[in-house]
Structure 1
């Protein structure tokens, strides 16, 4: 469903050279994998015999027993629609090969020998095994079947889109150009690595880096299954540290040094991988080089999608925000410095004497003001070069007004207060609009009046207008065209609303500001998001709450990420939203705001087609000069029809 495939890595209990015992443990894990609806299961390197048999690999009885065990496992799994990789030594062409046997419905689809054989430090593999490069035949008789053998095998599921499986073994990954690099170029989306990586101090971190980087470079899922504590401890110890990554994103790992069998599952998103490969136009360019040319034999197998079982994939409700505090703090610092450096460079280039910014007491203008102040500090110029302008209107509340003034005072910027009431009333009179009619004309008049004031003051002071609108507002078109939509540099243009909130809180908690300023920031965070273009209620509180009108920003930011970053369908976005938000929103509410997102996103493209300059800070941006180029008159019928069916 939705192009997910459940991939698992297994760490079985083993006894060295005991194929009967090892088969029992392997079958126990396979039974558990069946319960969990696993489609692709990877066992460690040489798990049939154990990796640490040493010179016992010269013993014919062990090789015969291993082949017999593979035959038995194939027979006992012939009813299973699961691709199972088992590590086994294989005798052929007068040599022994360290192989991965791939089984499906009782058939041995192929044998993939190891290419790079470690022969240094504690490793002596060249003593027992030959490299895949030394093979003579492309097919052999093995375990009662005629089986393709070679490192040039690619395994393709005929009925599951984008599912192509490539295999490399342990040390193959450690080489400067791993076989998986070429496998991915020729279509492999799931890479399997049966390994026997012994444990050393600090090695788990390196293992994480290696698997994460290769999955990222290959834009693939990478399942790495490593030998456990049942291996010989004569000179080395094995922990069974196994990993699953997808395009650099961690999906799961085993518990090191576990005494019992382990099975770690993850739902790999094949559609996501295919989407990323299409976008990264440099991904396939190496195939034009002669040294990248390869020929792969495609081994097709008939696999049905089947049931998904328990969804084994971390789906965060806040895709723009890291979960752990250390990563979050680093991310906030990096984003803040991107904004600061971009604005400082623009200020230098145009020789701006002032940074003119409208301060409303809301989230977006607060973040923009903090960046303006930091830019002045960065350039070594006084903060009074920042000219903060508060422009009370018909909807301004005392809370936001006081927060705006007090924050500017605490930061030491220049302050101007210009009411827009009289100018707006005059404009209503000039165009013949009744000010008692609180429609879009009433609202947008105020937004454009504020922008005109800022532009004129920037001319007056030799400055530039700093825009405050964020990425979420651009996605929804929640901005007045040629009003708050326009500026000379939009420093929040790449930051979604949920991240704006996190950044403001981060600044408040870093300790760089005095206590009074930090308290103001916390109150801004507690204030409902509003353009304040309609009069307050009878108690003087905000009467126009943005999220009541367009929907919760946490939902729209989630939709934005899944739709624009990966191009997912409405049905898949809804499914993911249900996973991420759990019981926070009923399905009907999710559908309501999803429909609203698609409607507004297509309608409001014209506002994004003429955006002012602004820095990209993350993987997603809607600037027509960066990530997003879309016709302003494109139809949303395909997407809306699917939403209606949901």
Structure 2
């Protein structure tokens, strides 16, 4: 038998600025790792502070408190006897670095700064930190006096070094460094590093986990070695959900995989790996030739061994076996990711629950089903005996109940914390949507109210008439387009105001005392936001929005999946219904249709979103691409009309995104203006733009060719 080492990767639900809570979870993870026999424990990126502090990283308090929290860990004797890889920000020579602190038995061995910072999409690390742009360079970090006292020295090494033990060598890389073309793990592996750690603050994106895992597999298939991946979990106080999924691999094979979506604040996975397998895997002469020419790393020596000293005579311990990789379906990701995010937000905000205006359409339906999914997940954790979840449920939902009360079903929990309200109009809301909303609420257990906003609508309409003498009418009653749109917007905004009134008062009317108000959930999907097909400050305005970055296509797939998985056959009716805002009067020959109003289908909107954001195409580039992609479906002129229509409405409605509700980030083409999609909100008229002239020029040439 070879040299067996047991290593641990952690997934922690850290919270920005929750220093004491974060450290308590770190210490708990260390204890669990030791109890499992691990000699190396790896935690998430910036785990002491939480990852998502944003501009708080510019504050001196954060660095002071980080050292104070690290001191708690270093002086806690229960954390001794195991090599620790801990994440925190460090100030060195007045420069802020995102660092790993490698420590053993109360002493710091090495502070390893991040070499390559995440600085695109949702990430702005270079706003707060400086990359350690000197590979293999090491210098001395002067410690705060509180740490000097326990370290027994004034300085410790800081830089791109590795830890050498009597039995192996350990190197650390951090999150983004795995994703760059020239990753540190390659040179470290060539220098004899056999165990590589990666500590991440990586957020959930639909269909993203496979990319992350494939990169780790490729790294260890090519280089050999043990790779330990740790990731944060939870909302961390912002729009992102960090999706855990810790991993341990050896030579390209997964030997341990943690959960991606769960309500556990602390999750620790372990695996026992044989160092001799790594050495045997790295046999190729060509690899040896490359290793000779690779840059050398300074090794920080320690007498601590990861493997036992008795030549592994305990045959009850065996190497962990390879296992199949588990991926959630995208539909499951929608059911679980936003659900976990909502639960974190609810329990940490101290609110009494959620409310959503349930219209009978698929978007508010999807929001409601995600809340129901959250309740199902909570019930699963109650059955598992999760003490944190049980405590949160008692506080949020059981304040007036007898001692020991616990909900028995997801529907019972849903009834306590989830409220739906149908805000109809007598002349415009169909019986079909009213009935669908009521029956869905009943099926999932939500506390439902059915009422009409006609009095509020009439009051606003009369306000204009009394002030100006002009009474607006809908188009079907002879009004102009301007009047028609204004009357639709009055209804939409009245619903938002009404929903907030119910959010504040329903806990009182239900005798729920001491729990605060309800959080209002939005239900505008990513494609409507992209097109601007919504009223500014209508029900798209809310406290948080679980579907604001999910496409209509994916929402439909999710609802079809949930119909059978959650035993909710009523969801099939939402799938069959024509999407409609029901903001105009229904007549014998007219029912408002979303796609007819937009002049674009939801599927087309999704395509435009990908073209604009992921492929980084403007109107002309998009037109050129779609001439190929849509050539079997449309003529060049029809494609040109679609492209111009999309970019025109995107531009004139871009201002709406500056006020959109913070939404769960799930889609790579999200138009979220607050963090992700940074673009102007006042555009020149696209119909007069050079891009459109170029489209017309190409279109004219194509049509001439077709006539020849």
**Structure 1 length as normaliser, TM-score?**
0.48
Structure label with greater radius of gyration = 1
